[in-house]
Amino acid sequence: MMSVDASSRIEALYAEVLRRNPGEPEFHQAVREVLHSLEPVLRKRPEYAEAQLVERLVEPERQLLFRVPWTDDAGEVHVNRGFRVEFSSALGPYKGGLRFVPDLSLGTVKFLAFEQIFKNALTGLGIGAGKGGADFDPKGRSDAEVMRFCQSFMTELHRHLGEHTDVPAGDIGVGSREIGFLFGQYKRLTNRYEAGVLTGKGTGWGGSEARTEATGYGTVHFVREMLATRGEDLAGHRVVLSGSGNVSLFAVEKAQALGALVVACSDSSGYVVDEAGLDLDLLKEIKLERRGRLDTYAEARPSARFSARGSVYDVPCDIALPCATQNELTEDHAVSLVKNGVKAVAEGANMPCTPDAVGVLREAGVLYGPGKAANAGGVATSALEMRQNAARESWTFAETESRLAAVMRAIHTECVTAAEEYGSADDYVLGANVAGFRRVAEAMRSQGVV
């Protein structure tokens, strides 16, 4: 395999990934995108191929799969499955979120952890890559039930964690409540107040200002940088988003602050369009306080309409921000967006655009920011939280957001520079993958075959 050309090498490696990881289509999708981006790198830097760096990079350093037994308020015993994929520690301790969703699988966790390698490398903040969670649904559960689940989950996972080893954060289904319960059990088991072992903590006990807002804010900062390459800014542009959780809500907040008109968002029941611009206060009240659906928003706003059919991507816009889940924006959605004149698409979620959708957007000349670059603000602020914990200090919201904006500008610059170096200006996918890979690759070469 050492003597074949880069293209043949990549195809052979991808075939091996399929063989060794059956039934994990999302992982396959993520790996294929990265491998094809790396072909020109391997041609230009044969030492990377000789060291088998890519072959080593697509195999996780450790995969954890464990039982999580717990009892509900009625005394009934339940058994869930816990996951943690520690993918790469070349640049620092494993770093990545935990998600509690009922359909979570090892393949999904593996794909998320693999994407995290490049995302975390792009931040330049000295963090490795991991991801985890459980097939547990906290919705409808009491605080006591969630606490017992989190304590059981951490009882097994804690032996693999540490501020210099693996530092989880929150993700879908894991907010400040869950992080608090997880941290309390970790402290109880280890007899250490190791603040840097989890991020996403409450601001009163080691958490960072702006962490909740960071992913949504960062995505909008990245869009602003993309538009600037064409001499434009966000002011006056129509924006639609998918989702209405933290990422979407705070993307709305930042986009509105920069002068954009945000007209639509969605949830699992449908989508709402408000031509007057989304009322963020009302939206936050419905989603964060009432835990309600978007039809409630339409009932309260004469300028809004709710639809349970079709897609939020059918709404004409200049900028689309998919912020919900993987593979939600399909080829048909991309065709609709292009037909309606979209200028830029940036992923607030992880891999929300299908490969066919990305192809449509790229062919039409739409600026496309992949999640590993566009939504890196969340993990960047988690790393900033680790930095504050290590120094036993806390920064103001304004200081933290200023650092976040600087990180997102730097990520954009790295993506553009790498893409131009390989003759593919505006190709943020290639730029993000190449820039992230080179940083990890150099660390791997320096550390030997480990």
Catalytic machinery residues: 131
* CA separation for the pair 174, 279 (Å, rounded): 26
* CA separation for the pair 67, 69 (Å, rounded): 6
* The 3-state secondary structure of 217-228, one letter per residue: HHHHHHHHHHHH
* CA separation for the pair 419, 426 (Å, rounded): 7
Strands of 367-369's sheet in order across: 304-307, 270-274, 261-267, 238-242, 319-322, 344-346, 367-369
| 3-class state of residue 240 by DSSP | strand
* CA separation for the pair 1, 59 (Å, rounded): 17
DSSP for 271-338, written as a single string:
EEEETT---HHHHHIIIIIS---HHHHHHH-TTEEEESSS-GGGS--SEEEE-S-TT-B-HHHHHHHH
Dmax (CA) of the chain? 67
CA torsion through residues 122, 411, 108, 96, sign: positive
Quickly tell me which residue has 């509690």 as its tokens.
Answer: 100
Strands (E), 176-246: 238-242
Give the tokens for residue 44. 């230009």
Whether residue 85 contacts residue 320, with contact meaning beta carbons closer than 8 Å, is answered with no
Alpha carbon distances (Å) from 408 to 32, 360, 371, 403, 421: 25, 26, 12, 9, 20
Give the tokens for residue 319. 């900028």
Whether residue 116 contacts residue 378, with contact meaning beta carbons closer than 8 Å, is answered with no
